[in-house]
Amino acid sequence: MSRDKFCEEIKAKFPTISAKAEKEYIRLWGDFKSELYSYTWFEALAGALNIEMNKGVPPKEYQALFSTVSSRFLSGDVDVKQAIDVAFVENLFWNVSSSASELYWNTLPEVLKDLYLNFHRRKPY
């Protein structure tokens, strides 16, 4: 599955958070859409999730999303893996309170935790 197809899959399966991610994308990038749109969209998705975390949305709301992302990391091609690792996971928990971070961290799939720790070298809380 290509990165663009993966992006479309996430948008189709998770329309509510995807709409929030699209707003975050526009905030960050405006209406600029290049060949890297799907890559930067995953950064916006992480940003939208960070906002949700800070609002106190329960982690169970996004368990299916995290599970899908985790599965695609394990089965995806290099572009999918890079988008998940660099654009998505590295940006999760940015400016999220410690208490919210801990709640989400405890439900995050191990593969995503490993990616986060490999980059940040510590838990987000």
Summarised one tens digit per residue, pLDDT across range 81-112 is 999 999 999 999 999 999 999 999 999 999 99
List, for the chain, all residue ranges whose pLDDT scores fall below the cut of 50: none
> Is residue 72 in a domain?
yes
> Is residue 125 in a domain?
no
What is the reported pLDDT for 36? 77
User: In the numeric block, which tokens belong to residue 97?
Assistant: 């309170």
What is the reported pLDDT for 86? 97
> Is residue 53 in a domain?
yes
The total number of structural domains in the chain stands at 1
> Is residue 11 in a domain?
yes
> Is residue 112 in a domain?
yes
Domain holding 14, by residue range, is 3-120
What is the reported pLDDT for 74? 96
Contact 60, 107 (CB under 8 A): yes
> Is residue 60 in a domain?
yes
Q: Is the pTM for the entire model greater than 0.85? A: yes
Contact 20, 90 (CB under 8 A): no
> Is residue 103 in a domain?
yes
> Is residue 36 in a domain?
yes
